[in-house]
Amino acid sequence: MKLFKPALVAVALVSVFGCQQEVKKEEPAVAVLETELDKQSYGLGASIGLYMQRNLEQHSELGLELDKSLILKGFTESIDGKSQLEQEEIQSLLMALDQQMKAKQQEQIAKKAEDAKAEGENYLAENAKREGVMTTESGIQYEIITEGEGEKPAATDTVKVHYTGTFLNGEKFDSSVDRGEPSVFPLNHVIRGWTEGVQLMSVGSKYKFTIPSDLAYGPMGNPPRIPGNSVLNFEIELLEIQKPEPVAEVGGNDGHAH
């Protein structure tokens, strides 16, 4: 979730207010956009309106119900040079609102992380009882969908895989399969659950892993997509192990590259 940016709103609105253009007392019910300048004028207002709409929705989600009629009143009075508040007071009020927004967001993040922890613990306990599910010493749960016969990677290897990641409710958050292109990465540069889990696989294998949060993204999660304390499911197919190219020898009598 994007944070409310009062400074941006203030800049956008003050820049418009500063013009202090005369506003017609009687506006047509429907704007007539005949010229390019008409469209640009309308577009400026629409861009501010769309920006405010998104922020109003974010505030509402956090229980901060702002009065749209007063927002419109503040806009129209200020653009006509008749604001009831001084610019310094407006900026102070917006900063205070921003702090409220951030505090509410932190409360929401903490609540989601707490809920995810309890849900994850229950899921792991039940999932471990299912037939075919094995659990490593570290707590990773896995089941074999297809067992390959190729080599197994080391933690220092680079692997090519297809994968799909889902939350416990089945919602997909990432998938190389959907992108139509395998992912390639050093196995020791990913979450610990992947580093350990993929080493269990032979090339050609496809496993389903359930990774505890402490072996995934931990209490902080991976904002904005993955909440803290999330237990994650991955279906991983190991396509290839890419060994590092041997370093060419460059001179020297000891037979080693320098």
In degrees and rounded to multiples of 5, residue 54 shows phi and psi of -60, -40
- Say how far apart CA 117 and CA 125 lie, in whole Å: 12
- Nearest Cα neighbor of 197 from 211, 213, 183, 217 is 211
Residues paired with 185 in a beta bridge: 159
Domain range list for the chain:
6-23+32-104, 133-242
Q: 71, 109, 144, 191: which one is catalytic? A: 191
Q: Is 167 a catalytic residue?
A: no
pLDDT score, position 184: 96
pLDDT for the residue 115 = 84
CATH 2.50.20 fits 6-23+32-104, yes or no: no
Orientation of helix 6-17 relative to helix 87-127, angle to 10°: 150
pLDDT confidence of residue 141: 98
List 186's β-bridge partners, or say none. Answer: 158
The pLDDT score that the predictor gives to residue 198 is 97
Question: Distances in Å between the alpha carbon of 102 and those of 96, 106, 113?
Answer: 10, 6, 16
To the query of whether residue 163 is one of the catalytic residues in this protein, the response is: yes
Pick out the chain residues at pLDDT < 70.
1-31, 244-258
**The CATH number of domain 133-242, selected from 3.40.50.2300, 3.40.50.1110, 3.10.50.40, 3.30.590.20:** 3.10.50.40
Of the candidates 4, 163, 207, 209, the residue annotated as catalytic is: 163
- DSSP notation for 99-128: HHHHHHHHHHHHHHHHHHHHHHHHHHHHHT
17 is catalytic: no
Cα distance between residue 235 and residue 164, in whole Å: 5
Burial of 120 (C-beta count, 10 Å sphere; 0-12/13-18/19+):
buried
pLDDT given for residue 30 in this prediction: 64
* Topology agreement, domain 6-23+32-104 and domain 133-242: no
State the Cα–Cα distance between residues 203 and 82, nearest whole angstrom: 72
Out of 217, 226, 236, 241, the active site residue is 217
Give the C-alpha separation, 77 to 93, whole Å: 17
Enter the DSSP assignment of 160.
E
Which residue, chain included where needed, has tokens 């927002």?
Answer: 71
Active site residue 207: no
Q: Which residues pair with 233 in a beta bridge?
A: 166, 210
| Nearest partner of 165 among 118, 232, 101, judged by Cα | 232
Q: What are phi and psi of 235, to 5 degrees?
A: -100, 120
Q: What is the pLDDT of residues 70-79, one digit of tens each?
A: 988 888 888 8
Q: Which of 234, 236, 241, 254 is catalytic?
A: 234
pLDDT at 58: 85
